[in-house]
Amino acid sequence: MSLYAMDRARLGELYEALGALGRVYLPTRKNGASAFLPYGEEGSEADLSLLLCDKSPKDLFFPQSEELVKFRLTGAEIALQEAARQKEPFVLFGVKACDLQAIEVLDRVFLAEPVDSFYQSRREHATVVALACARPAESCFCTAFGIDPTSPQGPCDAVAWLTESALYLRPCTEKGETIVSCFAGFAPADEKEVAAQQAAARAVLGRLPYGQLDLSRFGEASDELALFDHPAWEELSAHCLGCGSCTFSCPTCQCYDIRDYDTGKGVLRFRCWDSCMYKDFTMMAHGTPRKTQKERFRQRFLHKLVYYPKNNGGLFSCVGCGRCVKKCPANLHMIRVAKALGGEPRAQ
Amino acid sequence: MPETTRETVLRISGTNTRKCMLCGKCSGSCPAYDAMDYRPHQFVAMVERGEIAPLLQSKSLYACMSCFACVERCPRGVQPASLIEALRAMVLREREHTRLPAQLIPELIDAGTPQQAVVSAFRKLSK
Amino acid sequence: MQKIGVFVCWCGSNIAGTVDVGRVVEAVRQEPGVAFAADYQYMCSDSGQNLIKSAVKEHGLTGIVVCSCSPRMHEATFKKTAAAAGLNPYMVEIANIREHCSWIHKNMEEATEKAIVLARAAIAKVLKDAPLTSGTTEVTKRALVIGGGIAGIQTALDIAEAGFAVDIVEKQPTIGGRMAQLDKTFPTLDCSACILTPKMVDAGANENIELFTYSEVESVKGFVGNFTVTIRKKARSVRADLCTGCGECTEKCPSRKTKNEFNMGMDTRGAIYIPYAQAVPKIAVIDREHCLHFKTGKCGLCERTCSAKAIDFAQEDELVTRNYGAIVMATGFQMIDPSGFGEFGYGKSKDVLTSLEFERLMNAAGPTGGHLVCPSDGRHPKHIVFIQCVGSRDTSGCGKPYCSKICCMYTAKHAILVRDKYPDVSVTVFYIDVRTPGKNFDEFYRRAVEEYGVQYVKGMVGKVTREGGRLKVQGSDLLNDRQLHLEADMVVLAAAIEPDPTARSVASMLTASIDTNGFMTEAHPKLRPVESPTAGVFLSGVCQGPKDIPETVAQASACAAKVIGLLCKQKLVNNACVASSDPLLCNGCSSCEKVCPYGAITYEERELNDKGVRRTARVAVVNEAVCQGCGACTVACPSGAMDLKGFTNQQIMAEVDAICR
Amino acid sequence: MRELTNAICARAKELLQSGAAGRVLGWAPGEFFYDPTPGVFSEGRLNELVYDGFTAANLSKYCIAESQKEGKVLVLLKPCDSYSLAQLVKEHRVKRENIYALGIPCEGKLDMRKARAKGVEGALSFREEDGQVVFETLYGEVRLAREELLLERCLCCRGREYAGVDETLEYALPELPKRDRFQKVAALEEQTAQERYAFWRGELSKCIRCNACRNVCPACSCVQCVFDNPQSGVAAKANSTEFEESLFHIIRAWHVAGRCTDCGECSRVCPQSIPLHLLNRKFIKDVNELYGEYQAGADPAARPPLVNYTPEDPEPSAVLERGRA
Amino acid sequence: MPLNTSAPAQTGEYRPLIVAFCCNWCSYAGADLAGSSRLTYPADVKIIRVPCSCRVNPLFVLKAFERGADGVILCGCHPGDCHYTTGNYYTRRRMTLLFSMLDYLGIERERTRVEWVSAAEGAKFSATMNDFARTIRALGENRKLRDLRCGN
- Confidence grade of residue E6 (pLDDT, cut at 50, 70, 90): very low
User: Which chain D residues contact residue C508 at CB under 8 A?
Assistant: none
Query: C58 to chain A, minimum CA–CA distance in Å?
Result: 22
The CA distance from A333 to A329, in Å, is: 10
Cβ pair D165, D103 in contact under 8 A: yes
The answer to whether E132 contacts chain D (CB < 8 Å) is no
C-alpha A97: how far from its chain's center?
10
User: Which chain A residues contact residue C32 at CB under 8 A?
Assistant: 73, 76
List, as ranges, residues 235-254 from D with C-beta within 8 Å of A: 236-240
Q: Pick from B30, B41, B70: which is nearest to C478 by CB?
A: B41
Domain match, D49 and D195 both: no
ipTM score above 0.90: no
What pLDDT was estimated at residue A346?
39
Kindly tell me if the per-residue pLDDT of E90 is higher than 60.
yes
Residue A19 CB: number of other CB atoms within 10 A? 15
**For testing the chain C interface, which of E4, E33, E84, E92 should be mutated: the one with the most C CBs within 10 Å?**
E84
Q: Pick from B23, B33, B77: which is nearest to C395 by CB?
A: B77
Kindly tell me if the per-residue pLDDT of E3 is higher than 90.
no
Q: Pick from A33, A330, A339: which is nearest to D206 by CB?
A: A33
Are the beta carbons of D202 and A30 separated by less than 8 Å?
A: yes
Domain match, D135 and D270 both: no
What pLDDT was estimated at residue C573?
86
Whole domain around residue D58: which residue ranges?
Answer: 1-107+159-179
Residue of chain C whose alpha carbon sits nearest to that of D252: C638
Kindly tell me if the per-residue pLDDT of D165 is higher than 90.
yes
Chains E and B touch (3+ CB pairs under 8 A): no
Domain match, D186 and D127 both: no
The CA distance from E128 to E117, in Å, is: 9
- Close Cβ partners of C280 (under 8 Å, ≥ 6 residues apart): C174, C175, C176, C197, C200, C201, C203, C204, C211
Residue of chain D whose alpha carbon sits nearest to that of A325: D35
Chains C and A touch (3+ CB pairs under 8 A): yes
Residue of chain E whose alpha carbon sits nearest to that of D286: E97
The CA distance from E94 to C639, in Å, is: 16
In a domain, D132, yes or no: yes
The answer to whether E105 contacts chain D (CB < 8 Å) is yes
Residue bearing the bigger pLDDT, E120 or A189: A189
The answer to whether C595 contacts chain D (CB < 8 Å) is yes
Kindly tell me if the per-residue pLDDT of E126 is higher than 90.
yes
Residue of chain E whose alpha carbon sits nearest to that of C535: E84
User: Which chain D residues contact residue C638 at CB under 8 A?
Assistant: 222, 226, 255-256
Kindly tell me if the per-residue pLDDT of E1 is higher than 60.
no
Domain match, D243 and D286 both: yes
What pLDDT was estimated at residue B99?
55
Give the model confidence (pLDDT) of C540-581 as tens digits. Answer: 999 999 999 999 999 999 999 999 999 999 888 888 999 999
Kindly tell me if the per-residue pLDDT of B86 is higher than 50.
yes
Size of interface A-C (CB pairs under 8 A): 17
The CA distance from B67 to B116, in Å, is: 8
In a domain, D154, yes or no: no
**For testing the chain E interface, which of C635, C639, C648 should be mutated: the one with the most E CBs within 10 Å?**
C635
Which domains are delineated in chain C?
Answer: 4-127 (3.40.50), 142-173+209-231+317-332+500-568 (3.50.50.60), 248-305 (no CATH), 335-498 (3.50.50.60), 579-645 (3.30.70.3270)
- Close Cβ partners of A237 (under 8 Å, ≥ 6 residues apart): A293, A294, A296, A297, A298, A332
What pLDDT was estimated at residue B118?
63
Are the beta carbons of E105 and D306 separated by less than 8 Å?
A: no
Residue of chain D whose alpha carbon sits nearest to that of E145: D243
- Confidence grade of residue D39 (pLDDT, cut at 50, 70, 90): very high
The CA distance from D151 to D56, in Å, is: 9
What pLDDT was estimated at residue B123?
57
Give the model confidence (pLDDT) of D17-27 as tens digits. Answer: 999 999 999 99
Task: List chains adjacent to chain A, taking adjacency as at least 3 C-beta pairs closer than 8 Å.
Answer: C, D, E
Regions of chain A short of the pLDDT cut 50: 344-348
The CA distance from C193 to C184, in Å, is: 8
Query: C110 to chain E, minimum CA–CA distance in Å?
Result: 7
Chains D and A touch (3+ CB pairs under 8 A): yes
Domain match, D238 and D172 both: no
- Identify the burial level of A60 via C-beta atoms within 10 angstroms of its C-beta, where 0-12 means exposed, 13-18 middle and 19 or more buried: buried
Size of interface D-E (CB pairs under 8 A): 118
The answer to whether D231 contacts chain C (CB < 8 Å) is yes
- The total domain count for chain D is 3
Are the beta carbons of A137 and D121 separated by less than 8 Å?
A: yes
Q: How many residues does chain A have?
A: 348
Domain match, D24 and D75 both: yes
Give the model confidence (pLDDT) of D267-316 as tens digits. Answer: 999 999 999 999 999 999 999 999 999 999 999 999 999 999 999 999 99
Domain match, D169 and D250 both: no
Are the beta carbons of A264 and C32 separated by less than 8 Å?
A: no
What pLDDT was estimated at residue B113?
63
User: Which chain C residues contact residue A76 at CB under 8 A?
Assistant: 30, 32
User: Which chain A residues contact residue C30 at CB under 8 A?
Assistant: 75-76
Residue C502 backbone dihedrals phi, psi, to 5 degrees: -75, -15
What pLDDT was estimated at residue B114?
63
User: Amino acid letter at A346?
Assistant: R
- Identify the burial level of B125 via C-beta atoms within 10 angstroms of its C-beta, where 0-12 means exposed, 13-18 middle and 19 or more buried: middle
Which domains are delineated in chain E?
Answer: 18-139 (3.40.50)
What pLDDT was estimated at residue B91?
82
Regions of chain C short of the pLDDT cut 70: none
Query: D136 to chain C, minimum CA–CA distance in Å?
Result: 46
| Measured CA distances, D53 to C57, D132, D169 (Å) | 75, 12, 18
What pLDDT was estimated at residue B125?
55
DSSP 8-class letter at A32 = T
Domain match, D31 and D167 both: yes
Listed residue (C402, C366, C332) closest to C170, CA to CA? C332
Are the beta carbons of A261 and E151 separated by less than 8 Å?
A: no
B6-98 maps to which CATH number?
A: 1.10.1060.10
Residue of chain C whose alpha carbon sits nearest to that of A284: C611
Lowest mean pLDDT of A142-146, D51-55, E26-30, name the range.
E26-30
Cis peptide before C187 (omega within 30 of 0): yes
Host H or E run for residue A200: helix A192-205
Residue bearing the bigger pLDDT, C297 or D63: D63
The CA distance from D214 to B53, in Å, is: 63
What pLDDT was estimated at residue C21?
96
Are the beta carbons of E151 and A264 separated by less than 8 Å?
A: yes
Residue D291 backbone dihedrals phi, psi, to 5 degrees: -120, 5
Residue of chain C whose alpha carbon sits nearest to that of D228: C639
Kindly tell me if the per-residue pLDDT of B98 is higher than 60.
no
C-alpha C597: how far from its chain's center?
14
- Close Cβ partners of C486 (under 8 Å, ≥ 6 residues apart): C383, C385, C428, C472, C473, C474, C475
Domain match, D242 and D292 both: yes
pLDDT > 90 fraction of chain B, expressed in percent and rounded: 38
Cβ pair C547, C555 in contact under 8 A: yes
Cβ pair B29, B69 in contact under 8 A: yes
In a domain, D70, yes or no: yes
CA A113, A118, A121, A126 torsion-angle sign? negative
| Measured CA distances, C202 to C198, C208, C243 (Å) | 6, 11, 20
Domain match, D169 and D188 both: no
Query: A239 to chain C, minimum CA–CA distance in Å?
Result: 19
Kindly tell me if the per-residue pLDDT of D321 is higher than 90.
no
Are the beta carbons of C586 and D224 separated by less than 8 Å?
A: no
Q: Pick from C584, C617, C640: which is nearest to D232 by CB?
A: C640
